């Protein structure tokens, strides 16, 4: 995500650009004349997107880069462009800017696709004629060593000036989708990457953390660094284009397929050898959620999954990628679809279970929430995620979550903290969200009220908190 | 040898120190300013050097530390802090006022009050013709704020250092779930606070009145602050020492509730002032939970005797009252919930620490700790059993298999591991005939498999 740009960082960014230019001057891989023309033509396939995240107390701007995918005005953004836990209602005022433009076009947030994680937005009017959707180029498959180039976009104060980045492909790897890794940064995260002759190669991903050792006054530190405005990897075109039709039909309430298992761990080679399942890929299931499709199908804690519909799980390096692969295999199906899973139970029992995928319970970002200004906090409905996180599934504790507590308010002064589980309000046990909101609204709207009492759980501790309203 | 403070708990540091010995020839002249009682006390204060075995880092290692203590009986019982001499001690040596060193052994240990009882090797004392005095206790309930007190001990290894101050507070409330080397402390007592200079190494030394009688055992200080020291009141120290001498530990009852101060919630709970204590927490699965008690209930009386928990300082005595009944007793608790007042009967269990037994498996390069009942509850572990990995040595089998600190071993070769004894048996078999083991462990609550290879 690009930040809105105060002066100093932009100077640094310019400096970085110059260094990039020097590097470019030393490269003989791409014919310069052709590249300048190609760049001008391809700049028409990248946009900057501005939006605001609104919370109870502030509004923060964000600028990200995306690519147009049709002529109607639809743009795709990386999963990281918008934090996944943010309720869509808090995302405001999307605007799409063409490179080098001053005025943006208002746009609507269409939602996030669960399988790819990508966000989609659509402009209020079709794109002007000069915009070329990314889907309209010839594609090519890069090979190791190929020179590649991409487009990056500067901040709003630079009128979203596009600039060129160039690199070579260093590695092609399935993680589990096939990704090209470059010798250096090649585009803005979310920007397009092309071949020397202008074919579309892929979509630049999230910046990668790079490990560095740093010595400060003789002391060695391990540091992870990344450039938030430059991406050195791209999802290959054949892994990108087919999924662009997964534009969410609605921002919330999507039917997301769900199995109901927790804590998938790849079985590492040594353990696999011990279990005599070497040369295959396997996933160990840590727990099964009661009442979930997995539980209904008779799956058990500690089951080791070996096959899906008779097909062995593919092998990846690193091995842990198999967990993401399995997750995608569920997400690309639909609720109600059946799946046969081949399982190793214990050391020698082999069996196959047939699961009928269910529908994922309310995700965190869709949990209902209400802000109480006078009290100083927001309550949120408890969702499955909370219950897993807090180990509440077995204890059966209920309540609502204090989602946000504003500093220097009655709730904050009384000691309520964000994340607390509110179990009772004024001695009344809270069993559902609507009940909690009704009681709190009653307190908030009663000017004669000068205190109320909460029973909260924090970790394994509970305590009674008295909130004075003055 | 370690130097300086060795532990920090919520900003309160224990006073164990380790430093080079600083010896000086004894001076035995009687100063007019010092009473005979004080002289006698000085002859009862000792320096304690402890070498102990620790299991962190995947192996057994030995570390040493220095603290203070006070001889409390003719037959050579020495009172000190639990954090000075622990059950992990392999060698305890005591330097008497005459600067002669004598071996000692641990008689009893109670981290809840931070007290440990040692006994001088009386055989050696007799053989070498050594002599010592023993201190007398004063009534700590009778001391007043502002009264002059002296701290005697071995701060930073400076043997027989006396500092002077006053009692700053007679009823300081402080508890910590990991206050004594990772063990709980302060749940059953309040502390005397003094401004007499107390430094690392003073731990276990006495806080005394002008006449040399002991009012407290110096235990902790706020590191980074000045002149904020804390001592275990003598009345508690005396009782605990007597039990330790007899039984080696202080058996306490547990019902699983944590009281909270009512402060000014009386109005909300419709209570008369100075009545009842709030039940702040109820441990899952504990006797109190099984009896149906819930956080937010008000505890009005224990066996018909009213409870007053308006302020935090009043909570340790309530906890102590519950803890003091014999294990397995029936307690009738009078509880108020909303409008309703009712009695429940709970049967007490033995109080256990959250710190389980520790051990090191040298050939695996792995040190472990048993999962205690309290630890399992605290971490909401699915099962109460398992063994926590507390350290591994690089390039040893456990580390090579990928096991790391914090993993909880739940099964080996498919069989549930429920006790340290079981793991020791597996280790013994491994030592005899090394063979690969399939280890199942919980890491961040996820089940993970490892192979431990010879």
Interval B427-442: pLDDT, tens: 999 999 999 999 999 9
- A425 → chain B, closest CA residue: B296
How many angstroms separate the most distant Cα atoms in chain B?
Answer: 75
Mean pLDDT value of segment A7-16: 39
Confidence bin at B285 (pLDDT 50/70/90): confident
Predicted ipTM? 0.75
Residue B450 forms contact with A (CB below 8 Å): yes
pLDDT value at residue A162: 97
Q: How many CA atoms lie within 13 A of A82 on its CB side?
A: 30
Catalytic amino acids of B?
Answer: 83, 114, 203
Which of A80-84, B5-9, B42-46, B114-118 comes out lowest in average pLDDT?
Answer: B5-9
Query: Chain A contacts of B284, Cβ < 8 Å?
Result: 395, 460
Confidence bin at B9 (pLDDT 50/70/90): very low
Residue B438 forms contact with A (CB below 8 Å): yes
pLDDT value at residue A405: 96
Of B338, B378, B447, the CB nearest to A460: B378
Topology of domain B8-247 in CATH is Thrombin, subunit H (2.40.10)
- pLDDT greater than 70 at residue B19: no
Mean pLDDT value of segment A83-106: 93
Rounded Cα–Cα distance for residues A39 and A44 (Å): 9
Q: Which of residues 445-464 of A touch B (CB under 8 A)?
A: 451, 453, 455, 457, 459-464
pLDDT value at residue B13: 56
Rounded Cα–Cα distance for residues B104 and B130 (Å): 14
Count of domains in chain A? 3
- What CATH number corresponds to the domain at position A338? 2.30.42.10
Of A262, A264, A460, the CB nearest to B377: A460
Same domain, A78 and A154: yes
Query: Chain A contacts of B280, Cβ < 8 Å?
Result: 461-464
- From A337, A359, A381, give the residue that closes a domain: A359
Which of A218-232, A448-462, B373-387, B438-452 comes out lowest in average pLDDT?
Answer: B373-387
pLDDT value at residue A461: 80
- pLDDT greater than 60 at residue A463: yes
Rounded Cα–Cα distance for residues B22 and A86 (Å): 63
Mean pLDDT value of segment B164-184: 87
Query: Chain A contacts of B282, Cβ < 8 Å?
Result: 462
Same domain, A207 and A324: no
Number of C-beta neighbours around residue A143 at 10 A:
9
Contact check, Cβ <8 Å, A270/B450: yes
Same domain, A291 and A152: no
Q: Identify the bridge partners of residue B247 per DSSP, sorted by sequence position.
A: none
Instruction: Specify whether domain B253-350 bears CATH 2.30.42.10.
Output: yes
Same domain, A74 and A195: yes
Mean pLDDT value of segment B206-219: 96
Residue B400 forms contact with A (CB below 8 Å): no
Confidence bin at A85 (pLDDT 50/70/90): confident
Question: What is the DSSP secondary-structure string of A297-358?
Answer: TT--TT-EEEEETTEEPPP-SSTTHHHHHHHHHHHTS-TT-EEEEEEEETTTEEEEEEEE-E
- From A252, A275, A309, give the residue that closes a domain: A252
- Domain spans of chain B? 8-247, 253-350, 355-452
Contact check, Cβ <8 Å, A346/B414: yes
The distance of B382 to chain A (nearest Cα, Å) reads 9
Higher pLDDT, B215 or B358: B215
Mean pLDDT value of segment A360-385: 93
Contact check, Cβ <8 Å, A464/B414: no
pLDDT tens, residue by residue, A159-183 = 999 999 999 999 999 999 999 999 9
Interface test with B, best of A266, A268, A270 (most B CBs within 10 A): A270
Using omega within 30 degrees of 0 as the cis cutoff, is the peptide bond preceding A51 cis?
no
The distance of A464 to chain B (nearest Cα, Å) reads 6
Residue B25 forms contact with A (CB below 8 Å): no
Share of chain A above pLDDT 90, in %: 75
Contact check, Cβ <8 Å, B284/A453: no
Q: State the average pLDDT for chain B.
A: 88
Same domain, A95 and A213: yes
Residue B449 forms contact with A (CB below 8 Å): yes
- pLDDT greater than 70 at residue B276: yes
Q: Cβ distance B62 to B52 under 8 Å?
A: yes
- A452 → chain B, closest CA residue: B268
Q: State the average pLDDT for chain A.
A: 89
Q: Cβ distance B66 to B154 under 8 Å?
A: yes
pLDDT value at residue A32: 53
Per CATH, the number for B355-452 is 2.30.42.10
Contact check, Cβ <8 Å, B453/A270: yes
Of A268, A455, A461, the CB nearest to B402: A268
How far, rounded to the nearest angstrom, does the alpha carbon of residue A433 sit from its chain's CA centroid? Answer: 27
Q: What is the CA radius of gyration of chain A?
A: 26
- pLDDT greater than 70 at residue B107: yes
Same domain, A137 and A272: no
Same domain, A281 and A377: no
Contact check, Cβ <8 Å, A461/B258: yes
- A303 → chain B, closest CA residue: B447
- pLDDT greater than 70 at residue B26: no
Q: Which of residues 118-147 of B touch A (CB under 8 A)?
A: none
- B414 → chain A, closest CA residue: A346
Q: Which domain, by its residues, includes A399? A: 367-468
- B283 → chain A, closest CA residue: A460
Q: Cβ distance A233 to A266 under 8 Å?
A: no
- What CATH number corresponds to the domain at position A66? 2.40.10.120
Mean pLDDT value of segment B280-306: 91
Nearest to A140 by CA among A66, A198, A186: A198
Return the structure tokens found at B215. 């009012």
Rounded Cα–Cα distance for residues B201 and B66 (Å): 6
pLDDT value at residue B34: 65
Share of chain A above pLDDT 70, in %: 93
Using omega within 30 degrees of 0 as the cis cutoff, is the peptide bond preceding A318 cis?
yes
Query: Chain A contacts of B451, Cβ < 8 Å?
Result: 270-271, 273-274
- pLDDT greater than 80 at residue B443: yes
- pLDDT greater than 80 at residue A441: yes
Which of A95-109, A376-390, B9-23, B73-87 comes out lowest in average pLDDT?
Answer: B9-23
pLDDT tens, residue by residue, A111-145 = 999 999 999 999 999 999 899 999 999 999 999 99
Same domain, A220 and A271: no
In sequence order, the 6+-apart residues with CB closer than 8 A to the CB of B127 are none
Confidence bin at B173 (pLDDT 50/70/90): confident
Q: Which of residues 262-321 of B touch A (CB under 8 A)?
A: 263-265, 268, 278, 280-284, 295-296
Residue A33 forms contact with B (CB below 8 Å): no
Share of chain B above pLDDT 90, in %: 67
Q: Do domains B8-247 and B253-350 have the same CATH topology?
A: no
Which of A26-30, A258-262, A315-319, B67-71 comes out lowest in average pLDDT?
Answer: A26-30
Same domain, A445 and A353: no
pLDDT value at residue A84: 81
Q: Cβ distance B439 to B416 under 8 Å?
A: no
Query: Chain B contacts of A414, Cβ < 8 Å?
Result: none
Same domain, A288 and A245: no
pLDDT value at residue A3: 38
Q: Cβ distance B130 to B173 under 8 Å?
A: no
Mean pLDDT value of segment B348-359: 90
Q: What is the CA radius of gyration of chain B?
A: 24
Interface test with A, best of B293, B295, B309 (most A CBs within 10 A): B295
pLDDT value at residue B271: 82
Q: How many residues does chain A have?
A: 470
In sequence order, the 6+-apart residues with CB closer than 8 A to the CB of A249 are none
Of A268, A301, A459, the CB nearest to B449: A268
The distance of B58 to chain A (nearest Cα, Å) reads 22
Same domain, A164 and A308: no
Residue A217 forms contact with B (CB below 8 Å): no
Contact check, Cβ <8 Å, B281/A263: no
- pLDDT greater than 50 at residue B208: yes
């Amino acid at each position: 995500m690009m930040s809105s740009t105060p002066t100093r960082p932009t100077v640094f960014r310019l400096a970085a650009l110059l260094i990039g230019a020097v590097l470019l001057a030393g490269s003989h891989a791409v014919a310069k004349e052709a590249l300048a023309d190609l760049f001008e033509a391809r700049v028409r396939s990248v946009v900057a997107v501005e939006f605001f995240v609104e919370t109870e107390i502030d509004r923060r701007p964000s600028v990200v880069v995306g690519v147009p995918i049709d002529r109607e005005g639809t743009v795709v953004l990386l999963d990281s462009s918008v934090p996944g836990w943010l309720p869509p209602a808090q995302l405001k005022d999307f605007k799409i800017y063409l490179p080098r433009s001053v005025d943006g076009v208002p746009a609507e947030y269409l939602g996030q696709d669960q399988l790819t994680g990508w966000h989609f937005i659509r402009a209020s009017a079709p794109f002007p004629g000069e915009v070329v959707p990314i889907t309209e180029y010839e594609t090519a498959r890069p090979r190791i060593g190929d020179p590649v180039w991409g487009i990056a976009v500067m901040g709003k104060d630079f009128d979203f000036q596009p600039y060129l980045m160039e690199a070579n492909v260093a590695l092609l790897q399935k993680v589990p989708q096939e990704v090209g890794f470059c010798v250096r940064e090649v585009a803005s995260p979310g920007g397009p990457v092309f071949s020397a002759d202008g074919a579309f190669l892929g979509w630049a991903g999230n910046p990668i953390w790079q490990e560095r050792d740093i010595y400060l006054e003789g002391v060695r530190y391990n540091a992870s660094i990344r450039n938030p405005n430059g991406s050195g990897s791209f999802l290959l075109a054949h892994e990108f284009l087919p999924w662009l039709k997964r534009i969410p039909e609605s921002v919330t309430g999507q039917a997301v397929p769900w199995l109901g298992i927790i804590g998938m761990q790849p079985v590492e080679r040594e353990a696999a050898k011990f279990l005599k399942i070497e040369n295959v890929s396997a996933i160990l299931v840590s727990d099964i959620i009661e009442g979930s499709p997995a539980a209904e199908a008779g799956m058990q804690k500690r089951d080791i999954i070996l096959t899906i519909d008779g097909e062995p799980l593919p092998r990846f390096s690193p091995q842990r990628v198999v967990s993401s692969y399995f997750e995608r295999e569920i997400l690309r199906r639909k609720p109600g679809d059946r799946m046969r899973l081949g399982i190793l139970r214990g050391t020698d029992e082999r069996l196959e279970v047939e699961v009928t995928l269910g529908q994922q319970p309310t995700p965190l970002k869709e949990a209902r929430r209400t802000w109480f200004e006078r009290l100083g906090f927001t309550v949120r409905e408890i969702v499955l995620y909370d219950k897993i996180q807090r180990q509440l599934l077995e204890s059966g504790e209920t309540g609502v979550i204090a989602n946000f507590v504003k500093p220097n308010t009655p709730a904050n002064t009384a000691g309520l903290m964000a994340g607390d589980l509110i179990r009772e309000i004024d001695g009344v046990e809270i069993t559902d969200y609507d009940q909690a909101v009704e009681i709190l609204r009653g307190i908030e709207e009663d000017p004669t009220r000068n205190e109320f009492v909460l029973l909260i759980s924090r970790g394994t501790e509970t305590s009674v908190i008295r909130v004075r309203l003055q | 040898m370690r130097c300086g403070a060795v532990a920090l708990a919520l900003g309160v540091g224990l006073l164990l120190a380790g430093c080079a010995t600083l010896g000086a020839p004894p001076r035995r002249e009687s100063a007019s300013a010092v009473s005979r009682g004080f002289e006698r006390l000085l002859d009862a204060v000792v320096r304690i050097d402890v070498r102990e075995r620790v299991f962190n880092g995947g192996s057994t290692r030995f570390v040493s530390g220095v603290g203070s203590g006070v001889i409390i009986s003719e037959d050579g019982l020495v009172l000190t802090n639990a954090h000075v001499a622990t059950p992990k001690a392999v060698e305890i040596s005591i330097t008497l006022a005459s600067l002669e060193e004598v071996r000692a052994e641990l008689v009893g240990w109670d981290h809840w009050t931070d007290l440990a009882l040692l006994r001088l090797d009386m055989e050696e004392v007799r053989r070498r013709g050594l002599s010592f005095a023993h201190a007398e206790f004063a009534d700590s309930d009778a001391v007043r704020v502002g009264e002059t007190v002296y701290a005697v001990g071995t701060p930073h290894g400076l043997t027989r250092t006396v500092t002077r101050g006053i009692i700053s507070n007679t009823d300081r409330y402080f508890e910590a779930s990991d206050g004594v080397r990772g063990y709980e402390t302060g749940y059953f007592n309040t502390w005397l606070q003094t401004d007499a200079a107390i430094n690392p190494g003073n731990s276990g030394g006495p806080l005394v009145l002008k006449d040399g009688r002991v009012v407290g055992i110096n235990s902790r200080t706020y590191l980074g602050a000045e002149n904020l020291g804390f001592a275990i009141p003598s009345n508690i120290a005396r009782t605990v020492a007597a039990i330790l001498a007899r039984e080696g530990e202080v058996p306490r009852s547990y019902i699983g509730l944590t009281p909270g101060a009512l402060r000014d919630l009386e109005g909300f709970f419709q209570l008369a002032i100075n009545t009842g204590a709030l039940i702040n927490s109820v441990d899952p699965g504990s006797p109190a939970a099984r009896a149906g008690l819930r956080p937010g209930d008000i505890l009005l009386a224990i066996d018909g005797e009213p409870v007053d928990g308006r302020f935090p300082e009043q909570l340790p005595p309530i906890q102590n009252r519950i803890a003091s009944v014999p294990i397995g007793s029936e307690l009738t608790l009078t509880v108020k919930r909303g409008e309703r007042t009712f009695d429940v009967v709970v049967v007490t269990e033995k109080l256990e620490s959250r710190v389980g037994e520790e051990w090191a498996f040298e050939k695996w390069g792995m040190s472990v700790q048993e999962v205690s009942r309290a630890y399992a509850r605290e971490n909401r572990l699915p099962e109460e059993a398992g063994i926590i990995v507390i350290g591994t040595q690089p390039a040893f089998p456990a580390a090579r298999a990928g096991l790391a600190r914090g993993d909880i071993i739940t099964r080996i070769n498919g069989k549930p591991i429920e006790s340290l004894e079981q793991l020791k048996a597996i280790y013994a078999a491994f030592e005899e005939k090394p063979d690969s083991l399939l280890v199942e462990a919980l890491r961040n609550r996820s089940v993970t498999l490892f192979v431990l290879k010879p």
